[in-house]
């Protein structure tokens, strides 16, 4: 494949995947975040399982990134045990809704 074709594949593949993804509802996503809040909505939270690390805040993250990350946990491409278990319970629509909620601009969910 030449460089132009590689570039086209790299640019168009994510766009096509997003076009096929269900549209997310931030209102419905808010109702589905109970399992996310304990780690991702506490400012500066650190967890000790499976090792000590700082949990990333996801409020304001791009929705497509959140969906892709959840899909990767569900498929096993990403390996965090807790996130794999949570993602395994989510449908594609759940992922889109949660991503829409956390992806809202100006959303501040951190508990201080």
Digitized pLDDT (tens) for each residue of the chain, 112 residues in all: 666 565 555 555 555 555 566 899 999 999 999 999 988 988 888 887 767 888 888 999 999 999 999 999 999 999 999 999 999 999 999 999 999 999 996 676 554 4
The answer as to whether 7 is a domain residue is no
Sign of CA dihedral 80, 83, 86, 92: negative
Q: What is the pLDDT of residue 112?
A: 43
Question: Can you read off the two tokens belonging to residue 76?
Answer: 């096993």
Q: Is residue 56 part of a domain?
A: yes
* CA distances in angstroms from 21 to 13, 24, 87, listed in the order given: 12, 9, 16
**Pairing state between β 53-54 and 46-47:** antiparallel
How many domains would you assign to the chain? 1
Res 111: pLDDT:
45
Query: Is the residue at 53 inside a domain?
Result: yes
Range of the domain at 49: 23-102
């Amino acid at each position: 494949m030449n460089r132009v074709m590689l570039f086209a594949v790299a640019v168009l593949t994510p766009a096509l995947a997003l076009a096929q993804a269900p549209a997310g509802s931030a209102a419905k996503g808010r109702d589905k975040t109970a399992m996310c809040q304990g780690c991702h909505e506490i400012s500066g939270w650190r967890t000790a399982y499976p090792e000590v690390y700082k949990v990333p805040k996801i409020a304001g993250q791009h929705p497509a990134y959140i969906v892709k990350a959840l899909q990767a946990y569900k498929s096993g491409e990403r390996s965090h045990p807790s996130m794999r278990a949570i993602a395994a319970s989510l449908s594609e629509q759940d992922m889109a809704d949660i991503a829409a909620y956390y992806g809202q601009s100006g959303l501040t969910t951190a508990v201080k």
